[in-house]
Each structure stands twice: as structure tokens, then as C-alpha cells.
Structure 1
Amino acid sequence: MRKNVKKICRNVYFDFNGHKVVIDDETNDLNYNEVLLLDYMLKNENTILDKRTLIKIGWPENVVTESSLNKSINRIRSIFESKKSVKIETITGKGYVLRIVENRALDFIYNKNFSIVIYAISFLLVASALYIYLTIPSNDYYMSDDYHYIEFNESDYNKRVILPNDQSLPPYILSKIEENKCDCTFLYITTVGKKYDQLSVYDPKNNDVVNFVFMEGEGK
């Protein structure tokens, strides 16, 4: 990947020199003004940017009206419609702000009361998933006295789900697995008391790990 390609979030890349945004291998072309605007907004993430500044950034050698800015912002917004993690908000009377709501653990359903515990467990689960992925035989469903795995051979993707022997996959976990379009290994675990469930996803193609946390009463 070229030097001026910036990873915005999982499977979303901004190619400054190529004038494009790539989302899940789909290329979205940008014009020069949109490139300048998006680059500036990414460098000033979570900062409210007034319209006058954005016009100067997007059209450094031209005088344009706010309608040109609004058109370009809406165009950039439309590109990210399929990714809920990237948003451009309108701040009435002030301007715009770009937010990347996906945290760097990715698609994480956040609850402050459990944040420290969840991060610690996430680290352990990720380490376990990587170890299991690299060591267990692909044709053996029995792993140990504690874990087994299930294979889903879809038309386009092969998925392996690792889970404790005394647990099964609830519908909301199956739905989340189906949403991930990749040849991935999943690790599912429920905490004692079922206060929250966690699904860790390892994508070997992108060498990326995603953690989904479902608090009690959320997404179930």
C-alpha cells in the first residue's frame, strides 16, 4: 500500500494521491476538492470546523459559495453511508465535525462500568484465538475438555467458531457472525452470570482482530 494511503478504520482506506476511498475493496473516486476536505477533516477528527475554513482548505485558489461546500460534504457523507463508524455531523451555526465512532478495538459496544475488565478479557481472548487458530487441526471438531469448534462453510466464506463445550451459539451471535464477510476465526464466550457476552473475530487476511461485546439486555 502506498505511503499516502491512510487507514481510517477497519476495511476503510483513504488514498490521497489516488483521489479515492476504498471500503471493503470497493473504490469510491473523489474529486480534488473532496480529497482536500477529507484529508483536512481526518487530520482534525472530532474538531468542529467552520465553513469558512473548510472553503479555504477545499478551494485554496478559488472563491466559492457555501453551496459548493455543502455539496462536497454530502458527497463524502454518501461514500461512508455503508460504514456507521464514520460520520460527518452538521453543527448548526458552526460547521462540520468528522467522527470515527469505531474504537481501535473496532465495533465495540461500550459500557463504562465494565471497560477495564473488558479490555483485559479482550487481550486474553485474542491471544487464545490466535493460538487456537494456528495450532488446532482443521478436520478435528474436538479441541480439549474445555473447548470445541463449529465450522460454517458458506458459499463465499469459511468460518470457524470456537466456544466452550458447555455453551451454544445464541441467535444474536449467529447473526453477528453472518454479518462478517471474511474467512475468519471467531471466539465466543459468556461470562459467569451472563452479564455480557464477547465475540472476538480474527481475520488472517487483514491480520486484524475485532471484539464485539454484548451487555446484558443489549443486542439480545
Structure 2
Amino acid sequence: MRNDFKIKNINFCCKRGTLSQGNKQQVLSFTETKLLELLLNEVNEIVLKETLKEFAWQHTVVTDSSLTKSIAKLRKALAFFLEDEELIITIPRVGYKLVSNDVTPIAEMDNLTDLEEYLATEDSLIQATESTSEQPSAMSLRNKILFVLSALLIGGSLFNFLRFLPSDNERYIDDSYHLIELSSNGFTHTVITPKSMELPQEISYLLSQQKCDCLFFVDKISGHFNISYFNPAKSQGVSLILDEKNLIEKLGSNLPKGDK
């Protein structure tokens, strides 16, 4: 199956589990992502309930009620972009159908360009790592400490600076970074990442669940994620440096859950 589609003017990335249009973005759960993937691959065709459940939940036994709830959430995510249009229709006692004459697979060249950018970034990181590894082992600990302190200072400075930017602050961000918005549960989160970095779906989903209109900066250097957080309503900020092992568990336990 293809992973990426364009639904009218909305981009759907199955790997990331996102629906996006410009700077607007909706983050889907794993189940919602799989349901939409199957419906898009069978666009304008009826997909049976059992087929959907088997594909989205795989070897887990689920009820029709769980399927109905997931379809409702998926409809809500699509309605964020298409308020007056119902794409997914119910076929009573049979299944569901995604109805649209404007669904197309995204050109594979787009994925190739992303891959080339990613590989170029990885080459740079590998060279930097190899260069560092040639230094005497006595310098290793000091370098790690300096790296952590630098990341914290950079993250804090970035958030303090962005607090005073106007609402169209994307034009103030360096060309090598981009800004996206994650909307979920009535909250809107701004996320800044390097253009060369693909934000993992698990991180996107976890950030989108924060109960605040927050600002996040996410970067990855030499296998470590630098994640900085700022809640303007509380003037509260946190900077974290986490390795990939148990990343989601550590992020979930350290990330504040603010509220308006």
C-alpha cells in the first residue's frame, strides 16, 4: 500500500500519522492512521467492518463500538480542514466508504527529496561524530557536559525570543527550520523542527495531547533528542535531552501537562 496521499488540498502521511495543510496539522492515533490508510486505498469502495478492524487492530479482537469511536475521531480530524464536507459515510451493518473524486497518491519524488535531505544530514552527523571520537577519552565527559549546557541555553533563549514575536512569526525563523501547528482536544501547539528532520509520529502525538497552547522545539543530534517546551499561559519552560531508548516513556514522564 502507498503511505502518502493528497485528499483535495490535504496531505496525509501514513508514516507520521498526520493530516496537514500549510502550517495546520492534525495528529492521528495509530488506529486512526491505519483506518484512513485502508479507506484511501479503497476510495469510493465499501470496506467491510471486519476488514477495517483486522487491518487497524491487527491481531486484537475489538467490538464494533471501538470501530465506530475511531471513525468518529477520524471524521473530526478531517472536518478540521473540510468543515462542510463528509468524506466518510456509513454503510449500515456493512462497513464504511470514503467518497471523493479528488484523492491522489503523493508523487514518490517528494519522498525521494526528503530521503536525500535526511541522508545528507546523517552524513554530516556521522562526520561530526567520527571527528569527536578521535579526541582523547579524557575530553569526552567534558564535551558531553558542554553539549548538554549548550542545548539547554539554546532552547531557553529560543523560547524567550519567540515569546515576543508577532503571530506571523514563521517568517522570523531561520530557513533551515520550519514551523507546524498541531491541533487536538481544542488546543493548538506550535512545533519548530529542522527541515531535514522527520518528527516521529509518537512524539507528534504525545506533544499534541498536552493541555495547553504550547510552543515546542524539537531537534535530534547524534542519536539524542533535544526537546524544549514553553507554556506562555504559565511562563513555564522545560528543556530535555533524551536518548532514543525508552524515549516516549521518558518524555511522557518529564513533560508538564499544562492547562489554560
TM-score category of the 2 structures, normalised to the smaller one: 0.3 to 0.5
- Greater fraction of residues in helix: 2
- Greater fraction of residues in strand: 1
TM-score under structure 2 length normalisation: 0.36
TM-score under structure 1 length normalisation: 0.42
